[in-house]
Structure 1
Amino acid sequence: MHFFDENSSVQILDRFSSDLRIVDELLTETTRLESEKQSEKPAVITSDWPSSGCIEFRNVFYRYFAEAKPVLQELSFVIKSKEKIGIVGRTGAGKSSLIGALFRLASVEGEILIDGIDTANIQLNDLRKRIAIIPQDPVLFSGTLRRNLDPFEEYSDPDIWSALESVGLKSVVSRSWGSLDKPYGENSSVGQRQLLCLARAILRKNRILVLDEATANVDPQTDLLIQQTIRDRFTECTVLTVAHRLHTIIDSDRVLVMDSGRAAEFDDPHTLLQNGNDIFYGMVKSLGSDEFKHFSDVAGN
């Protein structure tokens, strides 16, 4: 049997007291956080909103908090229903901030309209659950596959299996887990977790899909599978893709080039590659002459 001496007991108590102070400080800081601003008179939206997925930014400024310098400035553009938009720019250009503004994660000035409704007039929960997003780091819950794919128990087993089949995971799940009600393995690859997030988006049938560098950490084969799945299953959706690899957006309908928090260029890839002074032209040219020719050929088709 092991006994603690007096000094050991004092050390344990001191460490415990220190941990309690840290927890108390964290709780204090959390209670000081300002609540997210909700609309006082929220708009009434239908169960199928957004039905077309048209997005319009009108002179939008975006700040991380009210007194901060804007990270997005004077953004004004329209994304048409079912358009596939690539969003590119150098590090710090404002690509992810644009997505943050769409979800109203911080302070937004100006208007962001989805199907003609100002998102400032929509309850945040309603807004965020109507837009599907697949981030760079896949977000999964602890628990079963079913809870990850259908946390509110809204869909049938055939619907869930169909979504898994769409992303090439049906056979893997059947072989490795055999059931939707078994815990999903933490040792699964990043690629598998991204595909599971994609299956969740397919299941929910959102009309707007956002990919925030979703393929940055997956192997090229999984990247191709994700891109092909999006082409096949999201033809009726508006898709915004923040690009890490330029080849993932070269066949987009249009490319939005961000620079220092502003929309510097916004046109189809073929047109953007015609001007040697454009930012997008320079980004593709930096990949080498062979890649530039390949990108030009793809964009021209």
Structure 2
Amino acid sequence: MEWITSPGIIALSITYSMSITDIFMFAIRCLVQLETNIVSVERISEYSTMDNEREWRNEKGKSLTNWPSKGEIQFHNYSTRYREGLDLVINNLNVTIKGGEKVGLVGRTGSGKSSLAFGLFRMIEAAEGRILIDDVDISEIGLHDLRSKITIVPQDPVLFSSTDLSFNLSPFNEHTNEQIWEALEHSHMKDFVLNKLDNGLQTIVTEGGSNFSQGQKQLLCLTRALLRRSQIIVLDEMSSSVDQQTDQLIQETIRNEFTDSTIIAIAHRIDTLLHYDRIMVMDQGNIIEFDTPANLLSNKESAFYSLALDAELIKE
């Protein structure tokens, strides 16, 4: 028995087979999109089950007036890790940074430099020991009470897009325009804002701060620090991605404007730290050296001397 198919049926079959291909392609695209979006769901699930930070404010923190006044930082048998069950990243640290002292923090990658800064802000909590600032145990006060008293200038400067420059420098509207202009002058940015930006402090910051160079963004973050006038300032690799001229402006501002503040400067470019009071050299979560730059450089057996050789600051 012969099977006879009309030309119309054949044409219809071909037409539908072509549309089925499109349907399969659409289904594949949907599956790929679903797989991509499920990552967001996983992250939301992870964050929803994450342990909360410690209390934001408490009575002890509120009772501290004019704290810190000296900016002395003491680490007593301090150890910390990023998560329970992981190895310690800071191990039994015992050191005192005097009030108003300028300390450079150096070491190889993974030595614990950034972890020390995280511990100071309580981004990671102590596994053992404690940190005292002007004799106050920072674990006993609220996170807001602690973090609002310490300023950090990060390696990657952050500007808030779609807001004006004035908001970026004083987001809580705590300073007058006169104070902002004065801070810009001290950070060597006043001339640029006044003469190069058509709208001055009302200039809108574009996405990612793309209307400013990397060095200018770093100087603007330094301007924020000038306005806050914190007694303790952490500089996290702020010179690593700027040119030599901008770095000189940064160092000049630090020397002239933060004379009474305690400064902890994390740096790979150790030439920026040679005028600091002391250098702290870290390795595998431990302090292996803590002395003046001159004393460390005079000792050819020191780790800092080895770092200076690698940076070609000195020659054998």
How large is the RMSD of aligned CA atoms in angstroms? Answer: 2.0
Equivalent residue in structure 2 for 1:100, among 112, 115, 118: 118
The Cα of 1:52 is off from its aligned counterpart by 1.0
The Cα of 1:107 is off from its aligned counterpart by 2.8
| Structure 2 residue 172 is the aligned partner of structure 1 residue 172 | no
Q: What is the distance in 2 between the residues matched to 1:39 and 1:60? A: 22
Tell me the amino acid that sits aligned with residue 149 of structure 1.
L
Tell me the amino acid that sits aligned with residue 283 of structure 1.
L
SS in 2 for 1:273: helix
Tell me the amino acid that sits aligned with residue 260 of structure 2.
E
Partner of 1:145: 165
| Structure 2 residue 93 is the aligned partner of structure 1 residue 75 | yes
| Structure 2 residue 148 is the aligned partner of structure 1 residue 126 | no
Partner of 2:314: 292
Partner of 2:15: none
Provide closer, same or farther for how the CA distance between residues 46 and 281 of structure 1 changes in structure 2, counting only shifts above 3 A: same
The Cα of 1:198 is off from its aligned counterpart by 0.2
Partner of 1:85: 103
Partner of 1:283: 307
Equivalent residue in structure 2 for 1:43, among 28, 47, 60: 60
The Cα of 1:177 is off from its aligned counterpart by 3.9
SS in 2 for 1:176: coil
The Cα of 1:118 is off from its aligned counterpart by 0.6
Equivalent residue in structure 1 for 2:178, among 139, 155, 158: 158
Give 1:1-301 correspondences, 5 Å limit. Answer: 7=23, 10=27, 13-14=30-31, 17-38=34-55, 43-44=60-61, 45-108=63-126, 109-142=128-161, 143-174=163-194, 175-185=196-206, 186-187=209-210, 188-288=212-312, 291-292=313-314
Which is greater in Rg? 2
Q: What is the distance in 2 between the residues matched to 1:266 and 1:50? A: 24
Partner of 1:297: none
Tell me the amino acid that sits aligned with residue 138 of structure 1.
P
Provide closer, same or farther for how the CA distance between residues 259 and 14 of structure 1 changes in structure 2, counting only shifts above 3 A: closer
Provide closer, same or farther for how the CA distance between residues 250 and 10 of structure 1 changes in structure 2, counting only shifts above 3 A: same
Q: What is the distance in 1 between the residues matched to 2:57 and 2:225? A: 30
Q: What is the distance in 2 between the residues matched to 1:269 and 1:10? A: 65
Is this contact kept in 2: 1:39–1:120, CA < 8 A?
Answer: no
Q: What is the distance in 2 between the residues matched to 1:239 and 1:13? A: 53
How many equivalent pairs are there?
A: 287
The Cα of 1:48 is off from its aligned counterpart by 2.4
Is this contact kept in 1: 2:58–2:142, CA < 8 A?
Answer: no
The Cα of 1:292 is off from its aligned counterpart by 2.0
The Cα of 1:15 is off from its aligned counterpart by 5.4
The Cα of 1:178 is off from its aligned counterpart by 2.4
The Cα of 1:167 is off from its aligned counterpart by 1.0
SS in 2 for 1:162: helix
Provide closer, same or farther for how the CA distance between residues 12 and 89 of structure 1 changes in structure 2, counting only shifts above 3 A: closer
Is this contact kept in 2: 1:55–1:112, CA < 8 A?
Answer: yes
Query: For each residue in 1:251-291, what CA deviation from the matched residue of structure 2 results, as whole angstroms up to 9, or x when unmatched?
Result: 11111110111011111111112222211122223344xx3
Higher mean C-alpha displacement, 229-238 vs 144-153: 144-153
SS in 1 for 2:306: helix
Is this contact kept in 2: 1:42–1:121, CA < 8 A?
Answer: no
Q: What is the distance in 1 between the residues matched to 2:282 and 2:306? A: 13
Which runs of 5 or more structure 1 residues have no equivalent in the other structure?
294-301
Q: What is the distance in 1 between the residues matched to 2:308 and 2:27? A: 63
Provide closer, same or farther for how the CA distance between residues 25 and 267 of structure 1 changes in structure 2, counting only shifts above 3 A: same
Provide closer, same or farther for how the CA distance between residues 100 and 42 of structure 1 changes in structure 2, counting only shifts above 3 A: farther
SS in 1 for 2:179: helix
Using the size of structure 2 for normalisation, the TM-score is: 0.85
Is this contact kept in 2: 1:39–1:121, CA < 8 A?
Answer: no
